[in-house]
Amino acid sequence: MTFSIVARAADGESWGVAVASKFLAVGAVVPAAVAEVGAIATQADANVAYKGIALAHLDEGATAQVALDRLLEEDEGRADRQVGIVDVDGNAATHTGTDCLDWAGGATGEGYAVQGNVLTGPEVVEAMQRAFEGSDPAAPLAHRLLAALAAGDEAGGDRRGRQSAALLVVSEGAGYAGGDDIAVDLRVDDHAAPVAELGRLLDLNDLYLTASTEEEKVPVDDELRRELEAFATDRGHRDFAAWVGTENYEMRVDPELTWIDQRVLEVVRGTA
């Protein structure tokens, strides 16, 4: 009772899953991804064991279709399963079991697989395909996945209604302070408009948990440094670094204060 998309970024450096459903905390069940390996969505009568098994097959060099075939061969409940897989090279495969509840189906394209069950109709999958294929290939994968999910939601989505949504994207070294590969891991577990709420959270994720690009960095000279330090001390902080830590802007300000992100500077100056 879910619709999802699994995909690899056009540059071959990110893999991810976006999913929505009239189901509590769909992000706890459906998506899984490993950087430099691939991504999977398991749904309908979801077999959560598929996630680890499929990723292990992919890690051993199996293509998406081979990994999917192996999953189904070993599962007597395959008629009730729905699965989408994308591998390290962007090959994609999807499966909709014969006993999945209508409307159910899926489609694949270059670098992605879309699938859904208990949908209002095939227009949901078709809208997701158009949105993903029509998005800017150079855009961050998370935003392309969200655009596809939003298109499916607008086209009717889960015919039972809305409840939860999730977005998972992995890329080597893309996690907090470069400590892991999780670029985006967001869940809306119970909400009247989960896809829209997921979009709001992605905007916050971009601000707080995504490193500044070179274009966003403003060099800090002596005059600006004095302005920043005065701003922080006027608000009771030890120094500007303490304010940055308090406000969770660590990914957006250089520890040595040689640069500051343009958006954080706008916050400081009250122009955001």
More confident residue, 112 or 210: 112
Q: What span, in angstroms and rounded, lies between the C-alpha atoms of 35 and 71?
A: 21
pLDDT in tens, 164-200: 999 999 999 998 888 999 999 999 999 999 999 999 9
Which residue is associated with the tokens 């969770």?
248
pLDDT in tens, 20-46: 999 999 999 999 999 999 999 999 999
For residues 125-148, give the mean pLDDT.
Answer: 98
Show the tokens assigned to 215: 């274009």
Instruction: Say whether pTM exceeds 0.75.
Output: yes
pLDDT for position 176: 86
Q: What span, in angstroms and rounded, lies between the C-alpha atoms of 272 and 83?
A: 43
Q: What span, in angstroms and rounded, lies between the C-alpha atoms of 185 and 204?
A: 12
Looking at every residue in the chain, the average pLDDT score rounds to 97
Judge whether residue 1 has pLDDT over 80: no
Judge whether residue 55 has pLDDT over 80: yes
